[in-house]
Amino acid sequence: MSRRQDVQRRGLEGPRPEERTRPIGRRNSQGIRIDPEIEAEPKPRRTTISAYVKNEPGVLARVSGLFHRRQFNIESLTVGPTQNEGYSRITLVVEEPDPGIEQIRKQLNRLIPVVHVRELDSNPVARELVIVKVDGDEPDKVHAITEMYDGETLDAGPRTVTVQITGSENKIDDAIDAFKQFNIREIARTGQAALARGEEETARVEAKHT
Amino acid sequence: MSGEQAQAPRDTETEREPTAVTNGADAVVRALENAGVEHLFGVQGGAIMPVYDSLYRSDMRHITMAHEQGAVHAATAYGVVTGEPGVCMATSGPGAANLVTGIADANMDSNPLIALTGQVPTDVVGNDVFQETDAVGITSPVTKANVFADDPDSVGTDVGTAFALAKHGRQGSTLVDLPKNITNGETDRDPGAPTLPDTYEPPETADPDAVAAAAAALRQAEKPVILAGGGVIKADASEELRSFAIEHEIPVITTMPGTGAFPEDHELSLEIAGMHGTGYANMAITMTDCMLAIGTRFADRLTGGVETFAPDAEIIHIDIDPAEVSKNIEADHPLIGDAKAVLGQFADAMTGSPSTEAWLEQCDMWKQEYPMDYAAPEDAPVKPQYIVERFDEATDDDTIVTTGVGQHQMWAWQYWTWTQPRTWVSSHGLGTMGYGLPAAIGAKLAAPDRDVVCFDGDGSFLMTCQELSVAVRENLDITVVILNNKAIGMVRQWQDVFFDERHMASEYPWVPEFDALAEAFGARGFRIDTDDEVDDVIEEALAYDGPSVVDVYIDPDEKVYPMVPSGGDNGLFALTEDQL
Ligand SMILES: Cc1ncc(C[n+]2csc(CCOP(=O)(O)OP(=O)(O)O)c2C)c(N)n1
């Protein structure tokens, strides 16, 4: 039932925008209330997120689709089976401001096959592997650098040497820098796999999900 | 295949007996029956034929739609009105692809919907065979969950799970892709009742300490508002909201999907906020010091620029989906749980009411200052707002209104007085033109005893008007009101302001005679050119027992105001074009 029959048909009226009462505060682009004097936008930081998931077709596609669609900045993504049949662990390295990291955690949690998601603290046990193929002109020098980074020679021939280095992201970056002098022909990097340190659990998992 | 064949009367009584499950298709149908489904909307085709064949023996009613987009919108509206997932089905390839818009639409608005799509047999999937598309791949970003069924023994459970996921927690759309060899494959398994997967446990109640802290904040507020979103309606929490707001004398604003969650004829109602919300709601939302937001995702059309959204307010946010909390607007008090359950907790935790006297006076003043009104000089062409008001006047409070997308949608939203939940059925988040007519069909089948009025634009109507054939065939008593401005008016309105009046591709040099078109379909057609025809035509159209189309030649220059431009400041809403 309309109750506006008695209203005069005059069109919209009222104080103009510049004549209106105004609020004092302000939010930033993340919707967080801020001191209007300080235009602070949160800075991105790099962190590791670990998800324990049920193996279902398409779960990886959904995870990577999510990052693309929501424009989350992803540095690396690895996935592999766990000791529990039917469950995998996905490790993500991301670079986002705090609200973005929180959104990543929550959005991953929304995916139905995801059992548990958390951000690992600043010092997880984390490793990555790289395979580097360089020119084989100076095999001794390549060998020396490989030794220096506790690496391993996987293949050596007259024209190429291929080595493997395992370690933290920083160490691998350094090693790659060092190999540049031999002309890097190709690189394959796995991305980071990580577990929480010591007694701490990477994922809180109920018995039904083991 | 024609609808007649799909709906042919069964020849013998024995065929109506629930028969044993013999194949995957039977299991799919049984899963839907076990879920209590009564209506399905779809279009036949090769890959889904086994499922249709099983439907032949079912008591569920299948409505053959003219286009799969019609099927999905009808099913969505059915879900909005009933609260239970609507079911749509289509064949593989083009059938599945035609559903995508509606699947995205339902998911964006958190409406419960399940889509069943036929698929080519598993041994040829991936070979680009006839009518193959990757339905799971295409719909993965626009569904809550979807699954490719790969075993006749579990296909029934897949459907049950998809149904349960569409319904529980934050509602949304789900899809089950059904390869033909799986639905044809042998199985005798009855899938049982729908169950949620063991990885999915929607929250029920919120942390009591957080509720207590939030209640304390609200009690101390001087300028509180309640912002009621679609989640209030989905959780059937309108009654709880009403008594809470009235007991504590807190003004209520509804979002677009929350329309009807609180009666607009109550003095505490500030009606609707956002881009085309009321001036008073947008003032209150801007000046509030504490907002209790329930079941809303703080969509951009509501907030405008987040920098200026309720910038002085402490935000209490009740939502079932933790990912919506602090996504767009940071919540000072996140309360994760079902809106109804948490509102109950919240009511218990309120040991007193905030003192809102001065604030209510202020809100009243804004109501006086910014009444919703439109100019209607004596000799002007028919005003669309007037049509909306007259239909509102002529129909009962429980009338269901569906819309297309554009100016007409906004006029319907602004000038109808919403008093009940599940009466406003519209496309919010996706803004899908063509939603109105198929939605009216779904709504009427969901609530046969209630009036259903679809306010449509000439452009929106042209996108799905073929569904009129279905309304006629099913003899559905719905009234489609075309607010005809011979233009895709909302686009033209934007061009006037933001593109220096360059009307590129927004005006129709010619529109069909919609009344004659309606008659050609077998519906009743009416036309209104002047104000004095309005009431008589409305009476006749509503009285007609069957679908009718009222083509109203409205003032083509009428605009939708107030308006907050996208990303703008709600408190600076424009009342006229020159204020933008
Ligand atoms: C499917 C689709 N295509 C395009 C648009 C963009 N759009 C938004 S409103 C609008 C105009 C709608 O025209 P009409 O249905 O005649 O309604 P009016 O604005 O004239 O009331 C258009 C084209 C849309 N929302 N949906």
Is there a contact between A31 and B287 if contact means CB atoms under 8 Å apart? no
At B17 the pLDDT is 58
* B562 shares contact with chain A (CB less than 8 Å): yes
Q: Dump pLDDT digits (tens) for B8-47.
A: 444 444 445 567 999 999 999 999 999 999 999 999 999 9
| Candidates B1, B4, B5, B130; catalytic one | B130
Strands (E), B399-557: 400-403, 424-425, 452-457, 478-484, 524-528, 548-553
Spell out the alpha helix ranges (H) of B169-228: 180-184, 208-220
pLDDT tens-place string over residues B316-342: 999 999 999 999 999 999 999 999 999
Distance CA B258, CA B225 (A): 15
- B481-495 residue pLDDT tens: 999 999 999 999 999
Distance, in Å, from the CA atom of B95 to the CA atom of B115, rounded to the nearest integer, reads 11
Ligand 1 pocket check for B191: Cβ under 6 Å: no
* Chain A partners within 8 Å of B410 (Cβ): none
CA angle A48, A53, A56 (to 5 degrees): 135
What's the pLDDT at B509? 80
Which residue of A13, A27, A206, A210 to mutate against B (max B Cβ within 10 Å)? A27
Atom 4 in ligand 1: which residue has the minimum CA distance? B433
Of all atoms in ligand 1, which is nearest to the CA of residue B434? 1
Give me the helices (H) in B416-510, please. 436-446, 458-464, 468-473, 489-498
CA distance B267 to B274: 20
Determine the 3-state secondary structure of B231 from DSSP.
Answer: helix
> Can you tell me the distance from the alpha carbon of B410 to that of B276, in angstroms, rounded to the nearest whole number?
7
Task: Supply the pLDDT for residue B333.
Answer: 98
CB distance B489 to ligand 1 below 6 Å: yes
B308 and A58 within 8 Å at the Cβ level: the answer is: no
**Does residue B130 carry a catalytic annotation?**
yes
- Mean pLDDT score, B438-465: 98
Residue A52 C-alpha from the chain's centroid? 15
* pLDDT classification of A39: cutoffs 50, 70, 90: low
The CATH code belonging to domain A45-119 is: 3.30.70.260
Q: What pLDDT digit, counting tens, does each position of A69-118 carry?
A: 999 999 999 999 999 999 999 999 999 999 999 999 999 999 999 999 99
Distances in Å between the Cα of B490 and the Cα atoms of B275, B409, B533, B559 are 13, 10, 26, 8
Closest CA to ligand 1's atom 20: B489
- Alpha carbon distance B281, B296 (integer Å): 16
Would the CB of B550 count as within 6 Å of ligand 1?
no
- CA of residue A117 relative to chain centroid, distance: 12
CA distances from residue B221 to B350, B567, B570 in whole angstroms, order as listed: 12, 28, 21
% of residues, chain B, pLDDT over 70: 97
Choice among B490, B493, B558, B573 that is catalytic: B490
For B128, the token pair is: 């680009």
Asked whether the predicted pLDDT for residue B379 surpasses 90, the reply is no
Angstrom CA distances, B160 to A176, B116, B157, B482, stand at 52, 12, 5, 39
- Return the H-helix or E-strand segment holding B280: helix B279-287
Kindly report, residue by residue over B386-436, the tens digit of the pLDDT. 999 999 999 999 999 999 999 999 999 999 999 999 999 999 999 999 999
Burial B345-381 (b: 16+ CB within 10 A, else e): bbbebbeeebebeebbebbeebbeebbbbbebeeeeb
B500, exposed or middle or buried, with CB in 10 Å at 0-12, 13-18, 19+? exposed
Q: How far is CA B519 from the centre of its chain?
A: 28
The minimal CB distance from A4 to the residues B147, B329, B389 is found for: B389
The separation between the first and the last C-alpha atoms of chain A, rounded to the nearest angstrom, is: 58
B567 touches chain A (CB under 8 A): no
> Residue B485 and residue B511: Cα distance in Å, rounded?
10
A45-119 matches A125-194 in fold: yes
Q: What is the DSSP letter of B109?
A: T
Q: How far apart are CA B184 and CA B253, in angstroms?
A: 52
Q: Which chain B positions have a beta carbon within 8 Å of A9's beta carbon?
A: 373-376, 383
Q: Which amino acid is at B323?
A: A
Residues of chain B found within 8 Å of residue A210, distances taken between Cβ atoms: none
- What per-residue confidence (pLDDT) applies to B80? 98
Q: Give the B window 415-434 contacts with A, CB below 8 Å.
A: 415-417
Nearest CA in chain A to B323: A106
Q: Do B311 and A33 touch (CB under 8 A)?
A: yes
Query: What average pLDDT is seen over chain A?
Result: 92
Q: Do A23 and B308 touch (CB under 8 A)?
A: yes
Angle in degrees, 0-180, between the axes of helices A98-110 and A59-69, rounded to the nearest 10: 150
Q: Ligand 1 test: best mutation among B491, B498, B558, most atoms within 8 Å of CB?
A: B491
CA B251 to chain centre: 25
CATH architecture of A125-194: 2-Layer Sandwich (3.30)
- pLDDT digit string, tens, across residues B345-360: 999 999 999 999 999 9
Over range B502-525, report the average pLDDT.
95
Indicate the residue type of B283.
Answer: M
Rounded to whole angstroms, the Cα distance separating B421 from B232 reads: 9
Region A5-32 average pLDDT: 88
CA B181/CA B274 separation, integer angstroms: 50
Residues 6+ apart with CB under 8 A from B13: none
Sequence ranges of the domains in chain A: 45-119, 125-194
Q: How confident is the model at residue A41 (pLDDT cuts 50, 70, 90)?
A: confident
A164-189 pLDDT, tens per residue?
Answer: 999 999 999 999 999 999 999 999 99
Instruction: Show the domains of chain B with their CATH numbers.
Output: 24-184 (3.40.50.970), 208-369 (3.40.50.1220), 384-561 (3.40.50.970)
B104 CB near ligand 1 (under 6 Å): no
For residue B487, report the distance from its CA to the centre of ligand 1, in Å.
Answer: 9
Say how many Å lie between the CA of residue B485 and the centre of ligand 1. 12
Compute the mean pLDDT over every residue in chain B, rounded to the nearest whole number.
96
CB B101 within 8 A of CB B507: no
Angle among Cα B135, B137, B140 to the nearest 5 degrees reads: 100
Residue B14's pLDDT is 47
Residue whose CB lies within 8 A of the most ligand 1 atoms, among B403, B490, B494, for a mutation test: B490
Chain-chain contact of A62 with B417 (C-beta, under 8 angstroms): no
Q: What is the pLDDT of residue A2?
A: 40
Catalytic residue among B7, B131, B220, B362: B131
